[in-house]
C-alpha cells in the first residue's frame, strides 16, 4: 500500500465520463445514516507540492483538520440529506479540510470494472437500473471503489467497482454482485466541483495522513452525493473521499 499511496499523491486521475451521468441518477431513498465521528483538536498543516501526471500542479496544499460543523444540506431533487461535519474543500484544493472517523460496515451491490477508471462512473446508472428490476431500493448515495494505482498499473488492468448501498439483500442476479464494506478508520475530506477533478484533493488527504503517521490500508472510496443532472453548474456537486488508514 505504501507504493500505491506514493503514486496516488502524484497522479491526477481524469474521469470525464463521470460528469455525463444521467438525470435522475438517484431514485427516492431514505436519509443517509451518520457514520460514527470522533472529533479531534483543530490543527493546520502544510503538505508538499505534488505534480499530477495530467500536468496539474497542486501547489502548497494546506490541509486542515477540523471538527467545525456547518448546516445540513438537503440534496436537490432527492431525499438524501448530507450532514457536513467539516468545511467543504473547493477546487483547486489549495486548502483541504480533513478529519478522520470510524466508518461503519455497509452492504452494497456493485458491478466490477476492469480497465481505465474513466469507465467506472458510467456503470452507476446501470447498477441503479438493475436494482430497480430486482425491486431493491438503495440505502444511500452511490460510490466507487478504486483498488489499484494508475501510476504503476496498466490502465487495462485497473480494478474498480461501481457501487450502490443496499441493506440486507443477498441474492443478486448476474451481473450484479453484493459485498460488505468493512468498518475501518478512514481519513476523509468533502470536495465540491466536477467529479472528474476530485482526485486533485488526494494530495491534501495524504499529507494529513503523513502528519498522523498513517498509511493507506484499502481502496479509495468516492461517494457521489449529488447527481450531476440535478445541478445547474458542476461546482455545486459534492463528493466525500475516504481513504482507509492504519499506523505505519
Domain-wise residue ranges, the chain: 2-247
Among 42-56, 205-219, 233-247, which stretch is predicted with the lowest mean pLDDT? 42-56
Confidence of residue 13 (pLDDT cuts 50, 70, 90): very low
Check pLDDT > 80 for residue 225.
yes
pTM of the model: 0.73
pLDDT given for residue 235 in this prediction: 94
Among 24-33, 63-72, 227-236, which stretch is predicted with the lowest mean pLDDT? 24-33
Long-range CB contact pairs, 41-45, < 8 A, 24+:
41/65, 42/66, 42/67, 42/68, 43/211, 45/207, 45/208, 45/211
Cα 163 to Cα 21, 34, 76, 122, 203: the distances in Å are: 14, 18, 21, 11, 24
pLDDT given for residue 171 in this prediction: 81
Strands, DSSP E only, in 56-205? 57-58, 62-65, 73-74, 81-82, 95-103, 106-114, 143-146, 159-165, 177-181, 184-192
pLDDT given for residue 172 in this prediction: 83
pLDDT given for residue 167 in this prediction: 87
Tell me how far apart the alpha carbons of residues 216 and 104 are, in angstroms, rounded to a whole number. Answer: 18
Domain 2-247: which topology?
Answer: Multidrug-efflux Transporter 1 Regulator Bmrr; Chain A (3.20.80)
Q: Which residues lie across from 174 on neighbouring strands?
A: none
pLDDT given for residue 16 in this prediction: 36
Share of the chain above pLDDT 70, in %: 68
Q: Which residues lie across from 112 on neighbouring strands?
A: 161
Check pLDDT > 80 for residue 57.
no
Q: What is the DSSP string of 12-50?
A: ----GGGGGPPTT-S-S-PPPPPPEE-----EEEE---E
- Please return the burial class of 170, using the count of CB atoms within 10 Å of its CB with bins 0-12, 13-18 and 19+: exposed
pLDDT in tens, 95-148: 999 999 999 999 999 999 999 999 999 999 999 999 999 889 999 999 999 999
pLDDT in tens, 113-125: 999 999 999 999 9
Selected residue with higher pLDDT from 232 and 5: 232
Q: Terminal CA-to-CA distance of the chain, rounded, Å?
A: 10
Tell me how far apart the alpha carbons of residues 28 and 139 are, in angstroms, rounded to a whole number. Answer: 10
Confidence of residue 82 (pLDDT cuts 50, 70, 90): confident
Tell me how far apart the alpha carbons of residues 112 and 159 are, in angstroms, rounded to a whole number. Answer: 8
Amino acid at each position: 500500500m505504501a507504493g500505491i499511496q506514493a503514486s496516488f499523491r502524484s497522479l491526477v486521475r481524469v474521469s470525464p465520463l463521470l460528469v455525463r451521468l444521467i438525470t435522475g441518477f438517484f431514485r427516492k431513498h431514505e436519509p443517509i445514516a451518520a457514520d460514527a465521528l470522533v472529533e479531534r483538536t483543530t490543527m493546520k498543516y502544510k503538505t508538499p507540492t505534488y505534480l499530477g501526471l495530467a500536468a496539474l500542479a497542486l501547489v502548497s496544499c494546506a490541509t486542515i483538520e477540523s471538527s467545525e460543523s456547518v448546516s445540513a444540506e438537503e440534496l436537490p431533487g432527492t431525499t438524501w440529506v448530507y450532514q457536513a461535519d467539516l468545511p467543504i474543500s473547493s477546487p483547486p484544493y489549495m486548502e483541504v479540510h480533513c478529519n478522520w472517523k470510524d466508518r461503519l460496515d455497509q452492504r452494497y451491490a456493485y458491478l466490477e470494472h476492469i480497465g481505465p477508471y474513466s469507465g467506472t462512473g458510467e456503470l452507476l446508472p446501470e447498477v441503479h437500473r438493475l436494482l430497480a428490476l430486482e425491486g431493491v431500493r438503495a440505502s444511500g448515495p452511490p460510490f466507487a471503489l478504486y483498488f489499484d494505482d494508475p501510476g504503476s498499473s496498466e490502465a487495462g488492468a485497473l480494478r474498480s467497482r461501481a457501487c450502490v448501498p443496499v441493506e440486507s439483500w443477498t441474492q443478486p442476479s448476474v451481473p450484479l454482485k453484493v459485498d460488505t464494506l468493512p468498518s475501518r478508520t478512514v481519513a476523509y475530506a468533502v470536495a465540491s466541483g466536477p467529479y472528474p477533478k476530485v482526485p486533485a484533493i488526494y494530495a491534501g488527504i495524504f499529507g494529513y495522513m503523513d502528519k498522523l503517521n498513517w498509511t493507506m490500508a484499502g481502496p479509495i472510496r468516492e461517494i457521489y452525493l449529488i447527481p450531476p443532472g440535478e445541478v445547474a453548474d458542476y461546482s455545486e456537486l459534492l463528493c466525500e473521499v475516504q481513504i482507509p488508514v492504519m499506523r505505519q
